[in-house]
Amino acid sequence: MTTSHAIETVAQLEALFGQPGEASLRKEVSYLHPAYRALIAASPFAVLATTGPGGLDASPRGDPPGFVVVQDEKTLLLPERRGNNRIDSLRNIVTDPRVALLFLIPGVGETLRVNGRGLITVAPDVMARFAVEGKLPQCVIEVQVETVYFQCARAIQRSRLWAPVAADARREVPTAGAILSALTDAAFDGAAYDRELPARQQATLY
């Protein structure tokens, strides 16, 4: 790409795309409107975006629908379950509270975007609300909402994300073990990792 074709200013961007439609502007609010609460309650999956000294990060979060709780019209509560202990998102929130959430609902084209500021709490009463099978989350992320708006369905439609999955789809991408083996020049036993992974994941979901 030559620099002569690079878009480098907001004015250039606005000239390229034109003005947003009225609906695109009016759908954005600063609180959790009941319509948006309904989307959050139906969502079993969200992507959490954060920023910190090491740069940007986006990571998946999932649980049964409604796992992100609407505390009030300006507050969301997101449980932090067991994981790989990298805690990239949490490290970022400690240093820079800005966060964003993208909620997806299987079979629904529209997604929901929430921007705000997060803090991490281990308050016993808050933690207890998210216990599963008697197990507490590691912590809870409290998000103070600043902007909320839904995204139209074009991206989901173009990607065919909710279309039936082909039976051989899994064979077309490397397994987790194969990736680890490739990244470590076979020093990592990828085959053993793949054999043990399903049982380990099931035993450590919560």
CATH number of the domain where residue 96 is located: 2.30.110.10
Alpha-carbon gap, residue 43 to 4, rounded angstroms:
43
For the chain, give the mean pLDDT.
Answer: 95
Whole-number pLDDT of residue 190: 95
Whole-number pLDDT of residue 71: 97
Name which of 55, 133, 120 is nearest 90 in CA terms. 120
The string of pLDDT tens digits covering residues 78-131 is: 999 998 999 999 999 999 999 999 999 999 999 999 999 999 999 999 999 999
142 and 197 part of one domain: no
142 and 98 part of one domain: yes
Residue 2 has pLDDT above 70, yes or no: no
Q: Which residue carries 């369905």 as its tokens?
A: 153
Whole-number pLDDT of residue 1: 52
The lowest-confidence range among 34-38, 62-66, 170-174, 198-202 is 170-174
Pairing of strands 139-151, 111-121: antiparallel
85 and 145 part of one domain: yes
**Cα 71 to Cα 7, 32, 68, 178, distances in angstroms:** 41, 10, 9, 42
Whole-number pLDDT of residue 4: 81
Position 172 confidence tier, pLDDT thresholds 50, 70, 90: confident
Q: Is residue 138 in some structural domain? A: yes
141 and 171 part of one domain: no
Q: Is residue 7 in some structural domain? A: no
Range of the domain at 111: 23-159
The string of DSSP letters for 130-160 reads: T-BTTB--SEEEEEEEEEEEEEPTHHHHHHT
pTM: 0.93
